[in-house]
Amino acid sequence: MRVMRFLLLPSVLLVGAASVWAQVPAVTGKIQTAFTQRYIDYVVGTGRLAEPGKVYIVHYTGYLKDGTKFDSTKDRGKPFGFEQGKKQVIAGWEAGFEGMHVGGKRRLMIPYQLGYGINGRGKIPPKAELIFDIELIDVRDSMPR
């Protein structure tokens, strides 16, 4: 009977976790950052490392916590580029690519404090936790012209 309880609880927890992450394929690791932002790598890249101060070329899809999609470079058919460390993007993105390599795919779960804050912005409501599926396409020394 004791063995049955030990087996049943983990099974219930796994089923619950599986439903939450059903859209994320082949999870390879879950990491908590110092900023209380979470991420999951579901494809580990093998290309150039995303170094601080470099230009990152990325594809992304952004969701609200309820699953509502608010933006996607894939829908537009054109990736987005930004220079890391220049505050061109939200704080969650500044830290969110750390340790990634080109070819990597990651899900970022960004608290409102590292997103658009207490006021929100555009389609993003106040205090919104954001979820981004990101793909690091390229790392460059400077912005393409």
Helices (H), 1-145: 2-20, 73-76, 91-96
Catalytic residue among 71, 80, 82, 138: 71
Q: How far apart are CA 38 and CA 92, in angstroms?
A: 10
Catalytic-residue membership of 116: yes
Catalytic-role residue among 57, 112, 116, 133: 116
How many angstroms separate the first and last alpha carbons of the chain? 67
Catalytic residue, candidates 70, 80, 82, 138 = 70
C-alpha–C-alpha distance, residues 84 and 78, integer Å = 19
Catalytic residue flag (residue 71): yes
Q: Which of 39, 42, 56, 60 is catalytic?
A: 60
Catalytic residue among 42, 56, 63, 90: 90
Asked about 66 being catalytic, the answer comes back as no
Q: Is 80 an annotated catalytic residue?
A: no
Tell me the catalytic residues: 60, 70-71, 90, 116, 132
